[in-house]
Amino acid sequence: MKPNKQSVRHFFTSQYIIFSIILTIKAVLMHGFLFHDFDFIKSFILEGCYILFLLGFVELLPSRAKSYGYFIADAIITTLFASIVLYVAYFNTVPTYFALFQLGQVSAISDSVLSLLNPLYLLMYIDIIILLVFKFSKKLPFPSARINKKGLRITAILSLAVAIAFFIYYKGVSIANPVLAAGDKGIFNYELLNIYKDPTAQVKPLSAKLTAQEINQKIDQIKGITIKQPSDRNMFGVAKGRNVIVIQMESFQNFLLNLKVDGQAVTPNLNKLLSQSLYFPHVYQQVGPGNTSDAEYMMNTSLFPQAYSATSISEGNRNYPSLPKVLKKQGYNTMTFHADELKFWNRDELYPALGFDHFYEKPVYGDKDNVGLGPSDDVLYSKGLDKLEKSSTPFYSMFISMSSHHPYKIPDAKKGLKLPSQYNQGKIVGDYLEAQHYTDAALGRFIQKLKDKGIWDHSIILFYGDHFGLDQHMFNNQDRALLKNLLGHSYTEADRYNIPFILSIPGVTHGEVNTVTGGQLDFLPTLTNLLGINIENQLVHFGQDLLNTTHNTIGMRYYMPQGSFINSSILFAPTRNFSDGTALDLKTKRAVSHNAMQQYKSDYDQVIALEKLSDAYVMSLPHEIKSSEKP
């Protein structure tokens, strides 16, 4: 029986079609906004076929429930799109379903996330607002007649067929850059392909029979290096038996050091410290989705963080061979200080898994002097100092600063810079400089107290940034101009990922600068060399001792596509693979020609091999017994 004109009209004016069109338009506009992909026909097909298929399930609901079903489906899919837009704005990468499951962490950084909200994002919800108005006025703009079920079935089947065809076609296409992959494949295809690939399921654990020494030999073989014997190493054991104090500075980038604004030093205390320390200016972040928690993880394990989810959440309860466990064998008392909730980023499982004896969280610090996300750095250091004084044995202590967290809003009473008027026109640079100036001031006060208490002279102190603070996506034109004036060149990806690494050993270091290229994986082996601990036979580590390294390639993941790396010459990022990648010359700040890049193919292969080996090693580790299950 042929459908009559009325049934056809009802079909094309039905809730099913209207909501499908609205949501597909949103998806198409999101493609243009995020990926600058204005092939609207491709985007319409890629996303629309899935939307038609998904809404087909709503159409199968009883008539009285359909309006509610469509409204809920609209709200859920719109929120998915909005979450992706906000995630890209904050992290500069497209989230997989792994990352979307971690959105519960957002509440702890709500101020940071809210600062990125654009009023235009609210337009995505305009249809939902209009529907609510109609609902309360009891005049829904849809026909109440039932639509042709045969037409619905045909539409849903065709939509699914098209979706499957695109899924199969794109399944074999490997694109390293997640933003490009999502733009080319479509949002729904991108998420499905990540579920299909399930990177964690594809990792084959290493044999439990392999020793740490054997795995380290595999790592050295991939890198093409030979590890020196302890007796031949530079500075081996010069800090033996000393207390260890690690200061992980929030969002702290290397360009801040020795930087002046209108004649004022942004970091006067750290600048002064450089003359008494060993400074590595060419060190880069290697964090993944876990950001600060990933930096803590690498400092204590020298293992790559996970690429698809925060390591502390997905793999935080494994029994890690770690720096705290190695130091405990040397008689050290191990402790970590963080003025946030211990459950944030699953640290309540991570810290025991890493082997810390003590971990001091938010309740220890009170709430009398809050800056940004919680208690100020001054409070953090003051409370921590009390614990250090009471330690009867050498200690390993880790301080996680937090006051300079995005969005970098410091109380007026704590601001120490007098910024020129043009910084009021910028969106974020001025706030960032003020926040880091406070970080430096609090650090200066802590250093003085350590000296006053007699702790400083008997310690080795490490300072480093956990990850970048300024992302190009945060800037307006005034911010770009301000940074260009401060740096003497346009702000680049290399500037973004460059963090400082400073080692201070009172009585030993006297203002040396080491220009070797390094990353966060290198901190652990560098520290153990100075402490006179040979870890080759007891601790698997993917970093290198920077004091005994002549060349180094730093693997990046998550914030850059898989296979990205930084060496002494270039910053490289693949597109689909190495052959169509791009590179930045670190000295000239200019693009590297395709021909000139070919000599670095071995660096690309090395990084991928090391990351795969690290993932396999982590997956081979047994799970730690949860604290609630311990006797």
- Per the DSSP assignment, residues forming a β-bridge with 358 are 335
For residues 491 and 193, what is the distance between their CA atoms, to the nearest angstrom? Answer: 34
Question: Which DSSP letter does residue 541 get?
Answer: -
Q: Which residues lie closer than 8 Å to 564 by C-beta, 6 or more apart?
A: 176, 555, 556, 557, 571, 572, 573, 574, 607
Bind-site residues for Mn(2+) = 250, 292, 466-467
Bind-site residues for substrate = 405
For residues 355 and 334, what is the distance between their CA atoms, to the nearest angstrom? Answer: 8
Q: Which residues lie closer than 8 Å to 371 by C-beta, 6 or more apart?
A: 377, 403, 410, 411, 414, 438
Using an 8 Å Cβ cutoff, are 31 and 24 in contact? Answer: no
Using an 8 Å Cβ cutoff, are 284 and 499 in contact? Answer: yes
Interhelix angle for 40-59 vs 149-171, to 10°? 130
Q: What is the DSSP string of 213-271?
A: HHHHHHHHHHHT--PPPGGGSTTTTTTTT-EEEEEEETT--GGGTT-EETTEESSHHHH
Backbone angles phi, psi at 333, to 5 degrees: -95, 125
Bind-site residues = 250, 292, 405, 466-467
Strand 564-566, strand 554-556: pairing: antiparallel
Using an 8 Å Cβ cutoff, are 49 and 162 in contact? Answer: yes
Using an 8 Å Cβ cutoff, are 282 and 518 in contact? Answer: yes
Q: Is 292 a catalytic residue?
A: yes
Could you tell me if residue 355 is left (phi over 0), alpha (psi between -120 and 50 degrees) or otherwise beta? left
Alpha helices by DSSP H, listed for 138-207, are: 149-171, 178-185, 187-197, 199-202
Could you count the other beta carbons within 10 Å of the beta carbon of residue 126?
12
3-class SS of residue 19: helix
The one catalytic residue in 292, 301, 439, 549 is 292
Which amino acid type is present at position 475?
A: F
Q: Which residues are catalytic?
A: 292
